[in-house]
Amino acid sequence: MVDVDPLVERVRRGETGAIARLITQIERRSDGVTDRIAALHREAGVGHVVGVTGPAGSGKSTLVSALTSAARRRGRTVGVLAVDPSSLYSGGAILGDRIRMSDQAGDPGVYIRSVATRGALGGLSRAVLDAITVLSAAGKDLIVLETVGVGQAEVDVVSAAQTVAVVSVPGMGDEVQAIKAGLLEIADVHVLNKADRDGAQKAYAELKDMLRLGGLVGGDGWDVPVLKTVAGEGTGVEDLLDTFDAHLGHMERSGERERRARRNNATRIRWMAEEMVLDRLRDGRPDFDHEVEAVTALRTDPLHAARRLLGEHPDLRAADAMGAR
């Protein structure tokens, strides 16, 4: 059935309605969604995943909007996922401040939505990885993960993205310390947005100093650059796109792109396996109920029951001897 799933086919053709429906299914963990994501996996290795993070007020949304327009002018298709760790289910609602992205409204080459990740186990959200698979299989060339709010989202973005841009603005004062503490080391690119403001040159120099002090210049062959933008006017955005391209090339040459893909795939295989095992071990499954009975009757113990249920064959002689006093 999977190979003729109409929703999967429509996602493959890049239909916006189908993408939206499937991502909603991902958030809700609807029946059949696991098979649909699996069916899309082999076509999903293509898009360049860029994370955009930084403190509130740094103008991330405006920057993402400007990046989207610039990428479209280069003929690239774009998907934007606003990763919101504070909400359990987004309902697919586009955030209030997305109104300014109305430039892209109606453009079938752009897909924008928020993804709720609250309640996701582990740091890296399964919903985020699955939504990336969908957008990539739908043919999006650039996939932007924008963090909304604070918290664990930055970590999610780093794990899932090939390139991470950390955005700051001049005059944040102590905010710069926040960047220094948490976000400095995850940046592949630093963006000093609103660079026409007073204090831009000072903030630029400070960022450069921090990078030098942090040993983040010239380490693994990638000098973390600091780019100045005025996102509201589109200034510096073309340069930023060029820098993303350069970083992707670097990631591919260094093998880091594949290393990250491998790590994320390992995580996903574990999620799938856990889900399957818990499904086999539901009340009412005859094998499982049989083992529960045997453990309760003290004919065996939970460890050996679990081994049998997973198809492992313990040394039966030892298992028998074990129970003897």
Residues within the interface to its own copies (CB under 8 A): 1-3, 12, 34-35, 37-39, 41-45, 258, 261-262, 265-266, 268-274, 276-278, 281, 283, 288, 291-293, 295-296, 298-307, 309-312, 318, 321-325
Least spacing, CB of residue 31 vs its own copies, in Å? 14
State the sign of the Cα–Cα–Cα–Cα dihedral 82, 86, 91, 96. Answer: negative
Q: Cβ contacts of residue 44 below 8 Å, gap of 6+?
A: 132, 133, 134, 136, 137
CB of 240 to its own copies, least distance (A): 28
Nearer to its own copies, 4 or 99 (CB): 4
Q: For 170-311, where are the E strands, in sequence order?
A: 189-192, 226-228
- CA dihedral for 61, 66, 69, 73, sign (positive or negative): negative
Q: How far apart are CA 175 and CA 190, in angstroms?
A: 15
* Residue 180 vs 260, nearer CB to its own copies: 260
State how beta strands 142-147 and 163-168 pair. unpaired
Give the angle 129-184-114 at the CA atoms, nearest 5°.
30
CB of 265 to its own copies, least distance (A): 4
| Three-state DSSP class for residue 110 | strand
Question: Which residue, 172 or 272, has its beta carbon nearer to its own copies?
Answer: 272
To its own copies, the closest distance from the beta carbon of 21 in angstroms equals 19
Nearest residue to 153 via CA among 82, 221, 201: 82
Question: Which residue's CB is nearer to its own copies, number 99 or number 321?
Answer: 321
Closest C-alpha to 130, from 247, 248, 24 = 24
Q: In whole angstroms, how close is the CB of 42 to its own copies at the nearest point?
A: 4
User: Which of 12, 118 has the CB closer to its own copies?
Assistant: 12
Nearer to its own copies, 126 or 250 (CB): 126
Q: Which is nearer to its own copies, 99 or 318 (CB)?
A: 318
Report, in Å, the least distance between residue 76 CB and its own copies: 21
What does the alpha-carbon distance between residue 107 and residue 196 come to, in Å, rounded to a whole number?
A: 30
Looking only at the bridges linking them, the beta strands covering 163-168 and 48-53 are parallel
The distance of closest approach from Cβ of residue 65 to its own copies in the complex, given in angstroms and rounded to an integer, is 32
* The token pair that represents 178 in the structure block: 């926040």
